[in-house]
Amino acid sequence: MRAAVRALLLVATAVVPLVLPTFLVTALTEMMILGLFAMSLDLLVGYTGLDSFGHAAVYGFGAYSAALLLLHTGVSLPVAILGGAVFTAAIAVPMAWLCTRATGVAFAMLTLAFAQLLYAVAYKWQSVTGGSDGLAGVPRTAGPLGMSWFTSRIGYFYLAAGCLIAAYVFCRAFVASAVGTTLLAIRENERKAQALGYNPRAYKILVFVLSAFLGGLAGALYAPFAGFASPDLFFWVLSGQVLIMVVVGGAGTLSGPILGAAFFLALEHYLSVFTDSWALVLGLVFIAVVLFAPQGLWGMVRGHAVP
């Protein structure tokens, strides 16, 4: 059954951009990018139990890295995107090392602090980051291997879809692996996991960096997609929004957060046509979900991440 659904989705993904109007293709591309971003956070929140309030940090960093690569060097689009993800993972190592020194609320606040710090840097370091205006005119540089096809709107859809699908497949495998299942143990009872011989900090750092890679990938996809990178990509509001996507979608399910991202964007774009207060509705839905359906919408359908 699940295989059939997945096959159907793959076919749909292949066909969709060819038949739908362009504005929908663009919207779906954005949904996939945000879905990747949300899924990366799920590894931290849903599987390891680490509530990060600063995930925008990796998104913004990925976006700026890719943007700078595309603006100042001649590398092609796929290289820049990959580069963005790699750089983000690199900076995540010291971040992870520092943040995992704390747990619970202190951890959440540390992640927030880092994100705000990056926001401040992006805002002020005008020479490099363009200050409050950010970097505009990010090109989608075609590469030498005839990859210019990716630069078109439809091509970009496939690029984003490809990244999301690859990331999803990897994450599915990861959470079933020895390391992935250990994360669940840490989430359930860190003290016990440690008593069993697992070093919780090492695992937390590992999943943090992995999550940063994927989140940075999403950010790196975003910059050429939108054509710009701005300090808002680091702001805590975005960190909160992606957290909402994960929780409302269903933490610990991988697919839930992707749906959560889609739900969020749908609300933002379509509800705002009808009413000025879509954010209010979103906030209320969020609170309701946390109070009454903590496993999220998808979690209600499928059941929490329990092997």
Minimum CB separation of residue 38 from another protein in Å reads: 15
* 98: contact with another protein by CB under 8 A: yes
| Sole binder of another protein in the list 73, 132, 177, 272 (CB under 8 A) | 177
- Of the residues 198, 226, 267, 302, which one makes contact with another protein according to CB under 8 A: 198
114 binds another protein (CB under 8 A): yes
Which ranges in the chain belong to alpha helices (H)? 2-19, 22-42, 56-72, 77-99, 104-124, 126-129, 153-176, 178-188, 190-195, 200-226, 236-249, 255-266, 272-274, 278-292, 296-302
Write the interaction track for another protein spanning residues 216-255; mark x where CB under 8 A is met and - where it is not.
--------------------xx--x--xx--x--------
254 Cα distance to chain centroid? 11
For residue 184, count other CB atoms closer than 10 A to its CB: 18
Stretch that binds another protein, among 5-13, 60-68, 172-180, 259-267 (CB under 8 A): 172-180
Q: At what angle do helices 56-72 and 104-124 cross, to 10 degrees?
A: 30
Q: Which range of residues in 12-20, 62-70, 152-160, 183-191 is near another protein by CB under 8 A?
A: 183-191
Q: How far apart are CA 63 and CA 115, in angstroms?
A: 14
* Distance, first Cα to last Cα, the chain: 18
**The binder of another protein chosen from 15, 124, 128, 149 (CB under 8 A):** 124
Query: Measured from the CB of residue 90, what is the shortest distance to another protein in angstroms?
Result: 18
Task: Give whichever of 15 and 266 is closer to another protein, judged by the CB atom.
Answer: 266
Q: Is 293 in the site for another protein (CB under 8 A)?
A: no
247 burial class (0-12, 13-18, 19+ CB within 10 angstroms)? buried
**179 touches another protein by CB under 8 A:** yes
Under DSSP, the state recorded for 189 is -
Out of 181, 266, 270, 301, point to the residue binding another protein (CB under 8 A): 181
Q: Does 2 bind another protein (CB under 8 A)?
A: no
Q: Is 120 in the site for another protein (CB under 8 A)?
A: yes
The C-alpha atoms of residue 140 and residue 150 are separated, in whole angstroms, by 8
Dist. CA 112–CA 65, nearest whole Å: 20
Q: Does 169 bind another protein (CB under 8 A)?
A: no
Measure the CA–CA gap between 126 and 162, rounded to whole angstroms: 34
Identity of the residue numbered 100: T
Token pair of 123, please? Answer: 């805002």
39 binding another protein? (CB under 8 A):
no
Which residues of the chain form contacts with another protein (CB under 8 A)? Answer: 49, 51, 53, 98, 101-102, 104-106, 108-110, 112-114, 116-117, 120-121, 123-125, 173-174, 176-182, 184-185, 188-189, 191-200, 236-237, 240, 243-244, 247, 276-277, 279-280, 282-284, 286-287, 290-291, 294, 304, 306-307
